[in-house]
Structure 1
């Protein structure tokens, strides 16, 4: 068994969200020798419900902290004796962020700064922050706040001084089945016979919760500090998704919502000069003296290769698209074993 998390104390902000629950489930099943798992979130009901089904794991180190990443003092208290922070807390609904901009900024930007300060003050060893494809070339407030958050975590490596701590970021696309996302929305709507589609040419990257967890674990094991890890993912067209879920349903075009893109980016052409390609992932690295030497070592060792100077990673120009039958298979495997369409 891989023991890189043995005797570690791990805190997950937004720990009762879709990712947080899957990540904790993975920890208790795969890494039983984790010393302590702190689930930090605002919702007492979700914590209670999570504790009920996780109690079956009999993991002695599960802890539940009510708290908000906006509350720096409470967050710092929760981070005492913590070795690793996974920062998953965010306000992520695009229309809600457009309508309530300062609330989104307080959580996604100021909350990120609070996580960084708590990690620096409490002797944390490793911090991995979750980002989104909407942070690349953002056109909505949510994406802009996550870009700010990414920049804060990357630059935190410049102010750590002599502390033995690494800050890194993972950036990925739409998560299958996450709350408020399009797949559960369509699944809920198909009984009505009409699926609202914003634009028939819209595309998105696709990742399962399990794949998101694996990416974070990869970052924990391999981060040197300052990287943005980007997985290689398939895309889907929104009409193919609608067909996969509701082949008999009417597909009603409703128009793109405020702040919504037709296609998503995860790596822009401007990032190409600082991007390395691995087997399953890309790494966007900062331009620093430390990373200049690391880049050369990775290239010379054959562990990574440089991408083309005009490279970009866009859901509409992706090399891999999911077919309708593949989408149905993924929904059945990851969301609903009884699903049929």
Structure 2
């Protein structure tokens, strides 16, 4: 489906040793890229990834480079001859970033600025930034820095020449076990209730496969400055916990303990705000948020404008059975 944009291309993945990197390498094995560069600052994760890829066909064209998006010089060097950049490097743990917000500024904002500059300087053709629903009306430092990352990728500050920049935005990724699953495993092992922040808390859910397909879709369809959003179902976090507990313990009604909302958390997340809906084009499976033009629209002053925001509390919730089916498919529980 994406042969024309991925085959025979040199591809760079920043922050490529995380779940996103593993999945995109898996998806790229269906195509014929010329080379793939994994750029990250964690040598141990790189070594582990090398070992895991050693037996796979894609490992023959995969190169690992130690570096940090905070360092422009290393980005400039690694971007030589690159056709496509997937920019996934970020600090994204909400509670941690609340404690150390300026570290997120250095990675998520200044690092993204460096990615843009290096890509333009090296003549990269396509650059896609991975963003989050927490960037919409952000209340936490992580979301604020990711919102500014999106602004940087849409900015007219840079003479972009022929480089096309865009972003993708999605919610929680189901294909990544993340930090909550080991915690729940330990609680179940000790016969303790599963901690859940709030009974009404909801989140958008997307599989890793769908997240990567959104990235490929963005490369194929971007003209410059768009934010691509895939339509996604939502779930109550308590239902996610119940589904996981049922699969692991084979017991219904496993005890849940409500522990309260952490600093920087919302009850519901937004993928598109009502303001952005003014510029959003709806497709069958996606929304494309066009870049806002900075001119007055006199006609809009006479219109009654009302757009519904795209909230995780206002879309179809996945049932416990649906969540269990997805978890089985993704091998969350062996």
Aligned to 2:120: 120
Cα distance in 1 between the residues matched to 2:270 and 2:229: 11
Aligned to 1:323: 319
- 8 Å contact kept, 2:36–2:61: yes
The total of aligned residue pairs comes to 317
Aligned-CA RMSD value: 1.9
Structure 2 spans left out of the alignment, 5+ residues: 246-251, 298-304
Verify: 1:186 aligned to 2:176, yes or no: no
TM-aligned CA deviation for residue 194 of structure 1: 1.3
Cα distance in 1 between the residues matched to 2:40 and 2:193: 35
Which stretch shows the higher mean deviation, 3-12 or 245-254?
245-254
- 8 Å contact kept, 2:5–2:219: no
Aligned to 2:40: 41
TM-aligned CA deviation for residue 101 of structure 1: 1.0
TM-aligned CA deviation for residue 188 of structure 1: 4.5
* TM-score, reference length from structure 2: 0.90
Q: Secondary structure at the match of 1:225?
A: coil
* TM-score, reference length from structure 1: 0.88
- 8 Å contact kept, 1:267–1:314: yes
Cα distance in 1 between the residues matched to 2:331 and 2:178: 14
Q: Secondary structure at the match of 2:16?
A: coil
Q: Secondary structure at the match of 2:278?
A: helix
Cα distance in 1 between the residues matched to 2:63 and 2:164: 24
Aligned to 2:258: 253
Cα distance in 1 between the residues matched to 2:113 and 2:131: 14
Cα deviations by residue, 1:126-163 (Å, 9 ceiling, x for unpaired):
0000000000000000000000000000115x6335x2
CA pair 215-154 structure 1, distance change in 2 beyond 3 A: same
Q: Secondary structure at the match of 1:85?
A: strand
Verify: 1:170 aligned to 2:175, yes or no: no
- 8 Å contact kept, 2:279–2:292: yes
Q: Secondary structure at the match of 2:166?
A: strand
Verify: 1:6 aligned to 2:3, yes or no: no
Q: Secondary structure at the match of 1:64?
A: strand
Cα distance in 1 between the residues matched to 2:217 and 2:50: 26
Which stretch shows the higher mean deviation, 328-337 or 226-235?
328-337
Q: Secondary structure at the match of 1:30?
A: coil
- 8 Å contact kept, 1:177–1:184: no
Cα distance in 1 between the residues matched to 2:226 and 2:306: 19
Structure 1 spans left out of the alignment, 5+ residues: 293-307
Cα deviations by residue, 1:58-96 (Å, 9 ceiling, x for unpaired):
343210000111111111111111010000010000110
TM-aligned CA deviation for residue 20 of structure 1: 1.0
Cα distance in 2 between the residues matched to 1:34 and 1:43: 24
Cα distance in 1 between the residues matched to 2:254 and 2:283: 41
Residues 200-215 of structure 1 aligned to structure 2 (within 5 Å): 200-215=199-214
- 8 Å contact kept, 1:187–1:245: no
Among 252, 262, 272, the residue aligned to 2:277: 272
Among 326, 329, 332, the residue aligned to 1:333: 329
Aligned to 2:153: 153
Residues 278-317 of structure 1 aligned to structure 2 (within 5 Å): 278-288=283-293, 309-317=306-314
Aligned to 1:303: none
Verify: 1:135 aligned to 2:135, yes or no: yes
Which stretch shows the higher mean deviation, 245-254 or 96-105?
245-254
Cα deviations by residue, 1:213-247 (Å, 9 ceiling, x for unpaired):
10001111111111100110000011211211124
Aligned to 1:295: none
Aligned to 1:224: 223
Cα distance in 2 between the residues matched to 1:176 and 1:332: 11
TM-aligned CA deviation for residue 5 of structure 1: 1.4
TM-aligned CA deviation for residue 287 of structure 1: 2.1
TM-aligned CA deviation for residue 248 of structure 1: 4.5
Aligned to 2:88: 88
- 8 Å contact kept, 2:177–2:332: no
Q: Secondary structure at the match of 2:199?
A: coil
- 8 Å contact kept, 1:272–1:309: no
Cα distance in 1 between the residues matched to 2:214 and 2:331: 19
